Amino acid sequence: MVTTPPAKGSSAQYEVTDAEQKVEALVEEQRIPDVEINLEFLYTRDIEFRQETIYFIVVDRFYDGDPNNSEGPNPELYDPNRQDWGKYWGGDLQGVIDKLDYLKQMGVTAIWLTPLFEQIEDLFIESAAIHGYWTKDFKRINPRFIGKDEEPSLNKTQDERNTVFDRLVTEMHQRDMKLVLDIVCNHSSPDISGVKGELYDDGVKIADFYDDKNNWYHHYGEVTDWESEWQVQNCELSGLATFNENNTDYRNYIKSAIKQWLDRGVDALRVDTVKHMPIWFWQEFNADIQAHKPDIFTFGEWIYSHPSDDRSVEFANHSGMSMLDFGLCVAIRAALAQGAEDGFHVIQNIFDLDHHYSGANELITFIDNHDMPRFQSLNPDPEMLKVRSPWS
């Protein structure tokens, strides 16, 4: 005698007398197969960052994959014992390559690297340019991050693309990981021993703050009134030589340099100190960059932006790029690590202001960065950092 099983999906399929068996049958029927679901139809650009998990790396402090390049052009700026916080410790792009599988296994899908441009090789207030924000040449790779004998010029390696940087891009894309390059358009370098703002175009000197015949820089001194929009956009930040965005030659130089990096495989840009330049500059910059690479995703650092701050909201809505969500960051830190009296309402208050933004869900969510104390250092009690339900 052959017994025909009930049709799949019919009520008879679930006719069991044991309640526990009935539950197990329902769970078994509804189990979702272990397959990757393609959600590309939800996104509006080829490179869609709302689905990405970004890992931020200060390159020099991450991992030394090639000890041969650690001394760099000036060995005095390298500390092999890694005790002097102002000097280089040897991290490089080979170190990032070596750790890609580790990062991928953690769920990282995009890596944001501190600026890779060639930096000044000297100490300013007992610190070298380990962070990458004192650029000497935007069209050269920092030689400390590539092979000791490799050519740092983007122009000279454009055809071969045989630097460690190019290998990093290839290895990342093979793992479906995206590269976010940190850039700075606002300034170059500070005064060191009477030299300030010396800027090069692939090794050829094109500007000098103290010999500024072609007006590449502003000369208004440091910001003294942080409530003055004019000062914030035209005066110096911490003594750094501040570019004159009204100079067409400067604008053409910085855009052509960034385009070279995009042509080498960079997927997205994080832009430093955006509040210190007028919005018309960013509108022109982003329009030109997006015309060159239409699927580029760009986000800016407007430090301590907030949905109730009109200027930072205007930037997010009209500059042509998104930005880091400092408002949400500060709220999360207050609620989860600093014991804010209003608890999660502090976070909800930020969400309630999302309507101020044209694209609130494209703001970059984060809880700390290289300019802030780390999230886990905000409270000495580790229990404070554990989110618990009221019934636990």
CA–CA separation, 146 vs 152, rounded Å? 8
| Cα 88 to Cα 77: distance, rounded to the nearest angstrom | 6
Type of residue found at 8: K
Q: Render 140-153 in DSSP notation, one character per residue.
A: EE-GGGS-TTS--B
Residue linked to tokens 């060995």 = 75
- Which of left, alpha, beta for 3 (phi over 0: left; psi -120 to 50: alpha)? beta
Annotated active-site residue 272? The verdict is: yes
Specify the pairing of strand 297-300 against strand 199-201: unpaired
Classify residue 69 by burial, with Cβ atoms within 10 Å: 0-12, 13-18, 19+. Answer: buried
Active-site hit among 66, 182, 272, 362: 272
Residue 309 annotated as catalytic: no
- The contacts found for 50-54 with CB under 8 angstroms, 24 or more apart, are 50/361, 50/362, 51/109, 52/109, 52/110, 52/178, 53/107, 53/108, 53/109, 53/110, 54/108, 54/109, 54/110, 54/111, 54/112, 54/180, 54/364, 54/366
Q: 314: which 2 tokens?
A: 């205007």
Nearby residues of 141 by Cβ (< 8 Å), 6 or more positions away = 116, 117, 118, 152, 154, 163, 165
Q: What is the DSSP string of 355-371?
A: GGSS-GGGSBP-S--TT
Q: How far apart are the first and last CA of the chain?
A: 54
Catalytic residue among 245, 301, 325, 362: 301
- Write out the two tokens for 344: 């999660």
Count CB-CB contacts under 10 A for residue 29: 11
Half-sphere CA count of 101, side-chain side, radius 13 A: 1
Question: What Rg value do the Cα atoms of the chain yield, rounded?
Answer: 25
Q: Which residues are tagged catalytic?
A: 272, 301
